[in-house]
Structure 1
Amino acid sequence: MRWRADDFSLRYNLLFPAYAQLPPRLGYALAGQHAGLFRRKRAEEEAVIRTQMQGAFPAATEVQLAGWLNDYYRMVEQEALDTWYLQHQPIQNLVDLQGFEAVAQARRQGKRVLLTGGHFGRFWMAGAAMRAQGFTTGTITRDGGTTNQHGLHPAEYRYRLFKLQRLQQALGGAFLVEGDELRPLYRALNDHLIALIFDVPYIEAHKGRVTVNFISGTIDLPAGIYRIAKKTKAVIAPFFMRDWGEGRVVAEFSALLDPNDYNEATLMGLLAQQLEQRIRESPGHWWLWPALPLLRSK
Structure 2
Amino acid sequence: MRWRNEDFAVRYNLLFPLYAHLPPRLGYALAAHQAGFFRQQRTQEEAMIRSQMQGAFPDASAAQLDGWLNDYYRMVEQEALDTWYLQHQPINRIVELQGFEAIAQARREGKRVLLTGGHFGRFWMAGPAMRALGHTTGTITRDGGDENVHGLHPAEYRYRLFKLQRLQQALGGPFLVEGGDLRALYKALDDHLIALIFDVPYTEAHKGRVTANFINGTIDLPAGIYRIAKKTKAVIAPFFMRDRENGRVRAEFSALLDPDDFDETALMAALASQLEQRIRESPGHWWLWPALPLLRSNNNNESDR
Per the shorter chain, which TM-score range?
A: over 0.9
Secondary structure of 2:173's partner? Answer: strand
Q: What corresponds to 1:59 in structure 2?
A: 59
Letter in 1 for 2:109: Q
CA distance in 2, matches of 1:132, 1:206: 38
- CA RMSD in angstroms comes to 1.3
Q: What corresponds to 1:91 in structure 2?
A: 91
Q: What corresponds to 1:281 in structure 2?
A: 281
CA distance in 2, matches of 1:141, 1:226: 17
Q: What corresponds to 2:302 in structure 1?
A: none
Q: 1:34-183 counterparts in 2 under 5 A?
A: 34-183=34-183
CA distance in 2, matches of 1:29, 1:69: 17
CA distance in 2, matches of 1:200, 1:192: 25
Secondary structure of 1:87's partner? Answer: coil
**2:201 touches 2:295 (CA, 8 Å); kept in 1?**
no
CA distance in 2, matches of 1:260, 1:99: 22
Letter in 2 for 1:193: L
Q: What corresponds to 2:303 in structure 1?
A: none
Tell me how far 1:207 sits from its aligned partner: 2.5
Q: Does 1:236 align with 2:233?
A: no
Q: TM-score, normalised by structure 1?
A: 0.97
CA distance in 2, matches of 1:45, 1:100: 35
Q: Does 1:218 align with 2:193?
A: no
Deviations along 1:187-240, one digit per CA (max 9) or x if unpaired, are 1101100000012559xx933211110001110111111011000000000000
**2:200 touches 2:221 (CA, 8 Å); kept in 1?**
no
> Which moves more between the two structures, 282-291 or 208-217?
208-217
Q: What corresponds to 1:186 in structure 2?
A: 186
Q: What corresponds to 1:13 in structure 2?
A: 13
Q: Return closer, same or farther for 1:200/1:194 CA change in 2, 3 Å cut-off.
A: farther
Q: What corresponds to 2:297 in structure 1?
A: 297
**2:49 touches 2:289 (CA, 8 Å); kept in 1?**
yes
CA distance in 1, matches of 2:96, 2:38: 29
Deviations along 1:96-122, one digit per CA (max 9) or x if unpaired, are 000000000000100000000000000
Q: What corresponds to 2:197 in structure 1?
A: 197
Deviations along 1:72-94, one digit per CA (max 9) or x if unpaired, are 00000000000000011000000
Q: What corresponds to 2:301 in structure 1?
A: none
Tell me how far 1:287 sits from its aligned partner: 0.1
Listed as ranges, the gaps of 5+ residues in structure 1 are none
Deviations along 1:2-49, one digit per CA (max 9) or x if unpaired, are x95211100000000000111111100000010111111111111110
Q: Which stretches of structure 1, 4 residues or more, deviate above 4 A after TM superposition? A: none
CA distance in 2, matches of 1:288, 1:119: 7
Letter in 2 for 1:290: P
CA distance in 1, matches of 2:201, 2:277: 23
Q: What corresponds to 2:245 in structure 1?
A: 245
Deviations along 1:47-67, one digit per CA (max 9) or x if unpaired, are 110000000000000000000
Q: What corresponds to 1:263 in structure 2?
A: 263
**2:121 touches 2:287 (CA, 8 Å); kept in 1?**
yes
Deviations along 1:239-273, one digit per CA (max 9) or x if unpaired, are 00000000100000000000000111111000000
> Which moves more between the two structures, 173-182 or 231-240?
173-182
CA distance in 2, matches of 1:222, 1:154: 29
Listed as ranges, the gaps of 5+ residues in structure 2 are 299-305
State the number of aligned residues.
294
Residue identity (%) = 82
Q: TM-score, normalised by structure 2?
A: 0.94
